[in-house]
Amino acid sequence: MSQQAPRSVASAESANATDLQIYIDGEFYGRENAKVSVFDHTLLYGDGVFEGIRAYDGCIFRLREHLERLYESAKYIMLKVPLEIDELTEAVAETVRRNGLRDCYIRLVVTRGVGNLGLAPWLCPKGSIIIIADKIQLYPPEYYEKGLAIVTVPTMRNRVESLNARVKSCNYLNNILAKIEANNAGCIEALMLDHNGFVVECTGDNVFILRNGRLLTPPSYLGALEGITRNCVMEIAREEGLEVLEQPFTRFDLFNAEEAFLTGTAAEIIPLVEVDKRKIGDGTPGETTLRLIQAYRERTTRDGYQVYS
């Protein structure tokens, strides 16, 4: 099966930085002037929520699902999002329009707002909404063509009882520590386990395995983010007649899987070909994985919010 060129991932740099228009609480600012207070508790404590979203050819992929997840995260941490969902939808679309973008990565942040130096969130009267829509850069094509090698890291995923991973909070230290450990081992992603040794997810991606012909992904109750890409891939796979289960599995199952891959908004679907020096399948991207990559890409330009229509 032929492979398309890989899409892209959020870039730290815009191709035309001077043009960037960043939304903060209903106003647009250039990169230099887009600022929030040093007393905002999102800066002081990581107390806030966010979303990473993508637009493909003027279509914001599954925007509604991303926004619903944002409101659910906010509810969990008792943070009031200052806009209603329809207003926020328009604010995101307007940010993309203002920047004249068709293909972009969108970072949406809701901060806790300005308070004092104590923890108390109830002393922060109002949060801020920040929306950055920026150009995107290609992930190296070899990740998709050759697949990815990753390692399991010592840092375990946060326990659900402590901080439920379904909350996409601005505190990503759990993931960042794991990412550092992966980087120390020469890998770009880390496999994270729970306290019982079950596979949970990677630092910024969900994980899937094809084992005995069935597609398995860890259930979110183990501490995995309920990824928008993950959910879309499960839908596609079921439509194609595959049996799909949200079921706990261990590294043993991963090592002995026929195929494995990661999913995420930035990465889309990346084949996994090696974990902890064990080859997955024959060590090349699997047939089912390649088929899902193709089907997912076909969906990205039609399954979302049309910005320019």
230 binds ligand PMP (CB under 6 A): yes
**Measured between alpha carbons, how far is residue 25 from residues 10, 111, 133 in Å?**
22, 11, 15
Out of 11, 25, 29, 52, the residue judged to bind ligand PMP by CB under 6 A: 52
Out of 155, 175, 217, 300, the residue judged to bind ligand PMP by CB under 6 A: 175
225 binds ligand PMP (CB under 6 A): yes
Tell me the angle at which helices 287-300 and 228-239 cross, rounded to the nearest 10 degrees. 110
169 binds ligand PMP (CB under 6 A): no
Of 77 and 124, CB closest to ligand PMP: 77
Q: Which amino acid is at 194?
A: D
234 binds ligand PMP (CB under 6 A): no
153 binds ligand PMP (CB under 6 A): no
* Calpha distance 277→293 (Å, rounded): 24
Out of 48, 201, 216, 296, the residue judged to bind ligand PMP by CB under 6 A: 201
Out of 21, 158, 206, 300, the residue judged to bind ligand PMP by CB under 6 A: 206
Whether 75 is a known active-site residue: answer no
* Calpha distance 32→34 (Å, rounded): 6
Closest CA to 254 of 234, 277, 231: 277
204 binds ligand PMP (CB under 6 A): yes
Site size for ligand PMP, by CB under 6 A? 14
228 binds ligand PMP (CB under 6 A): yes
Of 228 and 257, CB closest to ligand PMP: 228
Closest CA to 306 of 75, 92, 137, 26: 92
Residue 140 tokens read as 């190296």
Residue 277 tokens read as 């020096």
Given the residues 126, 146, 168, 277, select the one marked as catalytic: 168
φ, ψ for residue 178, nearest 5 deg: -65, -40
Which 3 state secondary structure label does DSSP give 101?
coil
**Residues whose CB falls within 8 Å of the CB of residue 125, separated by 6 or more in sequence, listed in order:** 113, 114
82 binds ligand PMP (CB under 6 A): no
* Calpha distance 13→241 (Å, rounded): 41
* Calpha distance 281→304 (Å, rounded): 34
Least distance in angstroms from the C-beta of 94 to ligand PMP: 22
229 binds ligand PMP (CB under 6 A): yes
Out of 111, 152, 217, 265, the residue judged to bind ligand PMP by CB under 6 A: 265
Least distance in angstroms from the C-beta of 230 to ligand PMP: 6
Binding site for ligand PMP (CB under 6 A): 52, 175, 201, 204-206, 225, 227-230, 263-265
Active-site residues: which are they? 168
